[in-house]
Structure 1
């Protein structure tokens, strides 16, 4: 996938004001509108302009685009990091519409979709309110209700097991006195409910856009992600981890202390276990109704043969198990 330079598409500098971006879009949109333009590539150019303007006219999207695209050049191979937008606060839940149709929305590039295409569809799972209990909802009062905000936030897996209160910092874009985008940060104290899953939302009532004419403020929805962790893999409420074991623990059986997100537990490794064997700890996954399970995958780790005593032990083992062929199963499959 190629990186798209939206500033170059609109012919503006990276420090352009929002008014300069709007004027550039309107001028070029008139020039390349398919209904009036005689240019051979009018339709393609018009779609590119709409896509660029969709991002740069929005302070939040523009700030996020600037960060993820720092140092990138148009046409370069590009893959956004999976957590590139974590901690960014966006207004609304999807695309805005100004100057182009739903059909043109569908024509946005893969580059755009990889960054902003999740829209409202990213929030299909159950929401918690700000106390951590029950779905969001409630009747609207008089006046114009403020727009909802949303953000993805990253928490430790341990917080999903135990629940926690965390201080989170969110970043969004705002305009300075010259009409240029600058970062704005705010800090919130958030209760993480016990049992929250990846992809679920926490609703903070009244923390979205202020209302108008006495109307209520919108809400802020925080979509939960878990911190990157090489030790654990999460699937729904189930948690999988890899447990290194010594050859004699796997061969003879052993009781091994395993560190889980909620604390340590003693695990019995059955005798004659092979590397890759999965052991299930029922109900030791993420809490819920029902709770998930924890799966422990055994990984046999060999002592280094640099030590002479260990090397001698390997020789004795090779003699005692002379008939053992570790590749017998592969040869039988061929």
Structure 2
């Protein structure tokens, strides 16, 4: 996937004000509108302009785009890190409707979808109205906000209260985007799953005309861990074992997020064998399981005694690890 330089698409500098971005979009949109343009690539250019404007007109999207794209050039191979947007707070709401249709906005590139495709929402309508001697006054509910946050897997096992810092964008006095942070104390419920959303009532956009504030939805993801892999409520652990432990059998203390548990490794186990610890995954109704995948680690032959032990094993085992493969050829 190629990186898209939205600033170059609109022909503006990276420190352009929001007003400059709006003017550039409107000027180019008139030039390349498919209904009036004589340019052969008008349709493609118009869609590209709409995509660039969708990101750069929005302070939250623009700030996130600027940070994830630091050092990137147009056309370079690009893959956003899995957790690139963790801690960014986005407002709800759909694509802009200025200048192009829903069908055109649905044709945004894979690059856009990889960054913002899951940020689509629906704008909040009026929450109600009340009589006003000067006319009609509307109360509008505030937009919902969304953010992805990373937590430790241990928090899902035990539950926790965590202080989280979220980052969003806002405009300064000159109309340029600057970062804004806010800190929230959040209760992480025991048994929360990856992808689950926690709702914080009233922490979204303020309402209008006395309308209720929107909510903040925190999407949970787990911090990367060198030991565990998570799928739903199931947890897989790669457990290093010695050759004699799998050959002869052993009882091994397995480190789990909730504490160690004894695991019996059957004799004659092979590398990669998966052993199940029922109910030892993420808590829930029902709880997940923990799968322990055995990984045989050989002791290095760093001294004469170990080398002699390997030679003795070679002599008495009469073992050819390639026998099965050779037999199939």
TM-score (normalizing by structure 2) = 0.93
Aligned to 1:112: 112
Structure 2: distance between partners of 1:43 and 1:208:
37
| 2:219 paired with 1:223 | yes
Runs of 4+ with deviation above 6 angstroms: none
> 1:120 Cα shift?
4.1
Structure 2: distance between partners of 1:332 and 1:175:
71
* Aligned residues: CA RMSD: 1.3
Contact 1:93 / 1:150 at 8 angstroms: preserved in 2?
A: no
Structure 1: distance between partners of 2:323 and 2:210:
77
Aligned to 1:127: none
Aligned to 2:13: 13
> 1:95 Cα shift?
3.0
Of stretches 276-285 and 105-114 in structure 1, the one that deviates more from structure 2 is: 105-114
Contact 2:29 / 2:46 at 8 angstroms: preserved in 1?
A: yes
Q: Which runs of 5+ in 1 are unaligned?
A: 122-139
Aligned to 1:246: 242
Contact 2:93 / 2:143 at 8 angstroms: preserved in 1?
A: no
Aligned to 1:288: 284
> 1:97 Cα shift?
2.7
> 1:94 Cα shift?
4.3
Contact 1:209 / 1:219 at 8 angstroms: preserved in 2?
A: yes
> 1:301 Cα shift?
0.7
Structure 1: distance between partners of 2:156 and 2:241:
27
Cα separation, partners in 2 of 1:105 and 1:219, compared to 1, 3 Å: same
Structural mapping, 1:50-129, within 5 Å: 50-92=50-92, 94-120=94-120
> 1:141 Cα shift?
7.3
> 1:3 Cα shift?
0.9
Structural mapping, 1:1-334, within 5 Å: 1-92=1-92, 94-120=94-120, 143-322=139-318, 324-334=319-329
Cα separation, partners in 2 of 1:333 and 1:2, compared to 1, 3 Å: same
> 1:78 Cα shift?
1.0
Contact 1:93 / 1:149 at 8 angstroms: preserved in 2?
A: no
Q: Which runs of 5+ in 2 are unaligned?
A: 122-126, 130-138
Structure 2 SS opposite 1:45: helix
> 1:102 Cα shift?
1.6
Structure 2: distance between partners of 1:209 and 1:266:
50
> 1:332 Cα shift?
3.7
> 1:331 Cα shift?
2.6
Structure 1 SS opposite 2:155: helix
- What whole-Å deviation, never above 9, does each CA across 1:14-56 have from its counterpart, x for those lacking one? 1111011001111111111111111121111111110000000
Q: How many residues align?
A: 315
Cα separation, partners in 2 of 1:50 and 1:120, compared to 1, 3 Å: closer
